[in-house]
Homo-oligomer: A and B are copies of this chain.
Amino acid sequence: MNDKVEDSLNRKVAITRREHFNAAHRLHNPDWTEEKNKKVFGKCNNPNYHGHNYELEVKVIGYVQPETGYVIDTKILSDVIKDQITGRFDHKNLNLDVAEFKNLNPTAENIAMVTYDILREHLDQKLELKIKLYETPRNYVEFPL
């Protein structure tokens, strides 16, 4: 272990892995009239659903391990994301097929928070976690800040 490696014990680095999934969804509030749903959610309220190619970025922040030079092995991170998120959301209807959205509107904001809550339980608590979710190449959300 040289000086540079030792130094890294006190240096936090972020590593991000990008994965993707394709899903259908519909924005709708069951407490509202159809009229109000249509007014607020517009074409996103289409009762027959529409869909997106979601791009999901998962950022993990921690100290670099001197033996490996890794914060986390991206292969392990990628496997956790596939097992817990993309394997469950990909080629699904978020409203109908994914339990977390049975009573929660699948907006990009809510998908990001649900993703965070799920992944948080499957990563070492010493690692910080941040989610970035692209709904389209021109719209994305981030949580937490």
Contacts and interface: CB of A to CB of B under 8 A. Distances in A.
A43 B91 contact: yes
Contacts of A48: 24, 49, 92-93, 96-97
Interface string A1-34: 0101101100111111111101111010101100
From A4, A50, A92, A117, residue with most partner B Cβ within 10 Å: A50
Interface in A105-119: 105-110, 112-114, 117
Q: How many copies does the complex hold?
A: 6
Contacts of A106: 69
Contacts of A112: 13
Interface residues on A, range: 35 or more
A145 B14 CA distance: 7
Given A4-B114, A5-B104, 9 more contacts: A2-B103, A4-B110, A15-B141, A17-B138, A40-B68, A53-B136, A59-B142, A64-B113, A69-B106
